[in-house]
């Protein structure tokens, strides 16, 4: 059948320390390849509480049990507790998953700060944020990162340009339906975007009767008898912890459907740039997610 590209966003210190090793064990059980994208600077998860006034945010919080999944302590980082430096305090977990053979890349420097600000920021701010994560990645892993996946699928034009400046050949910074070559202000960029194509668990839980007992079956319907490769984004804080049993159902289900598992690098290696479509960088909404994010036009 097709490939399921497993893209794992790691947002918090707790997710790095607990969720990442849990996912590593689960992926090994199913001989599944995956890409881990790390938040490499301070954990300011508590700052996200400011989103309470945004349309749709409270609805999402009530559906996905944010406190249960992230924990009270994590939700206090940056509010009542100082934000711990993930790239300093979870080095061993990051190196261990890399040494276990999983592809690793950049998610962000400061997840909430990036997600809430990047759309309106200038080149200097954007490059400074990205260079901090790049330098920290090299410090931890001893080599430059090969890929990037934006926090909250939030980017700006300068961020897309920085991916080219780093020489990355592929990234997954938005949502869409097929790999494509991004076009920024009429200029074709050098790298390939491989957008997330499948809905995430936190987008469908609590909607139209979908709950923990049937969410795996709901997602699996998207890949049943589907010959196209898919990119699935999961989170170390969710599928690596409370929702681990659901993720195992997905792994077993995808295997039963005949799909194989791939890293972003594996997927990129199968693509022929000359045959890929080009699409402009644009913004749009996704069902189940508050606000706008980077989407593939068309």
Q: What is the pLDDT of residues 176-197, one digit of tens each?
A: 999 999 999 999 999 999 999 9
Average pLDDT over residues 116-127: 97
Structure tokens at 153: 């699928």
Structure tokens at 31: 């001989």
Position 44 confidence tier, pLDDT thresholds 50, 70, 90: confident
Position 45 confidence tier, pLDDT thresholds 50, 70, 90: confident
Longest Cα separation, the chain: 52
Is the predicted pLDDT of residue 4 greater than 50, yes or no?
Answer: yes
CA distances from 83 to 37, 41, 80, 236, 293 (A): 19, 9, 9, 18, 25
Average pLDDT over residues 10-18: 95
- Compare 48 and 4 and report the one with higher pLDDT: 4
For CA atoms 129, 132, 135, 139, give the dihedral sign.
Answer: negative
H helix intervals, the chain: 13-14, 20-29, 57-64, 66-70, 72-76, 86-89, 91-99, 111-117, 123-141, 157-166, 201-204, 215-223, 244-256, 264-269
pTM of the model: 0.90
H or E element at residue 99? helix 91-99
**Contact residues for 82 (Cβ-Cβ < 8 A; gap 6+):** none
Is the predicted pLDDT of residue 62 greater than 90, yes or no?
Answer: no
**Contact residues for 54 (Cβ-Cβ < 8 A; gap 6+):** 290, 291
**Contact residues for 23 (Cβ-Cβ < 8 A; gap 6+):** 8, 34, 36, 234, 236, 239, 240, 244, 247
Average pLDDT over residues 187-209: 96
Provide the domain count of the chain: 1
Cβ atoms of residues 237 and 38 within 8 Å: no
Closest CA relative to residue 8, chosen from 43, 42, 29, 32: 32
Is the predicted pLDDT of residue 291 greater than 60, yes or no?
Answer: yes
Structure tokens at 102: 């999983």
Predicted pLDDT of residue 73: 56
CATH code, domain carrying 34: 3.20.20.370
Average pLDDT over residues 65-81: 53
Predicted pLDDT of residue 7: 98
What domain range is 269 assigned to?
Answer: 3-296
Is the predicted pLDDT of residue 102 greater than 90, yes or no?
Answer: yes
Predicted pLDDT of residue 247: 98
Position 84 confidence tier, pLDDT thresholds 50, 70, 90: confident
Q: What is the pLDDT of residues 241-280, one digit of tens each?
A: 999 999 999 999 999 999 999 999 999 999 999 999 999 9
Of the given ranges (9-23, 54-68, 140-154), which has the lowest mean pLDDT? Answer: 54-68
Kindly list the strands in the beta sheet with 187-188, ordered across the sheet, starting from the edge strand earlier in the chain: 187-188, 181-184, 278-284, 293-296
Of the given ranges (91-95, 134-138, 253-257, 288-292), which has the lowest mean pLDDT? Answer: 288-292
Label the pairing between strands 230-235 and 3-10: parallel
Predicted pLDDT of residue 298: 74
Cβ atoms of residues 289 and 54 within 8 Å: no
Q: Average pLDDT over the chain, rounded to whole? A: 91
Distance between CA atoms of residues 107 and 85, nearest Å: 15
């Amino acid at each position: 059948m097709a490939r399921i590209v497993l893209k794992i966003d790691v947002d918090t210190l707790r997710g790095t320390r607990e969720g990442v090793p849990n996912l590593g064990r689960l992926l090994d059980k199913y001989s599944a390849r995956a890409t881990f994208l790390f938040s490499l600077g301070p954990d300011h998860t508590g700052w996200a509480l400011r989103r309470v006034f945004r349309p749709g945010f409270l609805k999402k919080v009530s559906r996905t049990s944010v406190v249960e999944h992230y924990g009270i302590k994590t939700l206090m980082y940056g509010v009542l507790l100082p934000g711990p430096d993930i790239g300093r305090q979870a080095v061993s977990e990051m190196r261990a998953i890399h040494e276990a053979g999983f592809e690793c890349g950049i998610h962000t420097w400061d997840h909430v700060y990036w997600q809430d600000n990047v759309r309106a920021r200038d080149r200097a701010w954007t490059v400074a944020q990205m260079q901090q994560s790049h330098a920290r990645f090299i410090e931890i892993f001893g080599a430059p990162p090969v890929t990037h996946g934006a926090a909250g699928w939030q980017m700006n034009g300068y961020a897309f340009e920085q991916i080219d400046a780093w020489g990355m050949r592929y990234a997954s910074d938005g949502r869409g339906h097929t790999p494509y070559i991004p076009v920024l202000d009429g200029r074709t960029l050098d790298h390939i975007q491989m957008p997330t194509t499948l809905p995430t668990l936190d987008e469908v839980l609590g909607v139209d009767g979908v709950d923990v007992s049937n969410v795996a079956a709901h997602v699996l319907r998207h890949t049943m008898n589907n010959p196209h490769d898919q990119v699935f984004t999961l989170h170390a804080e969710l599928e690596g912890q409370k929702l681990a049993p659901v993720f195992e159902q997905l792994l077993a289900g995808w295997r039963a459907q005949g799909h194989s598992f791939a890293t972003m690098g594996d997927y990129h290696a199968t693509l022929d740039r000359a045959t890929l479509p080009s699409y402009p960088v644009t913004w749009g909404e996704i069902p189940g997610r508050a606000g706008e994010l980077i989407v593939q036009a068309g």
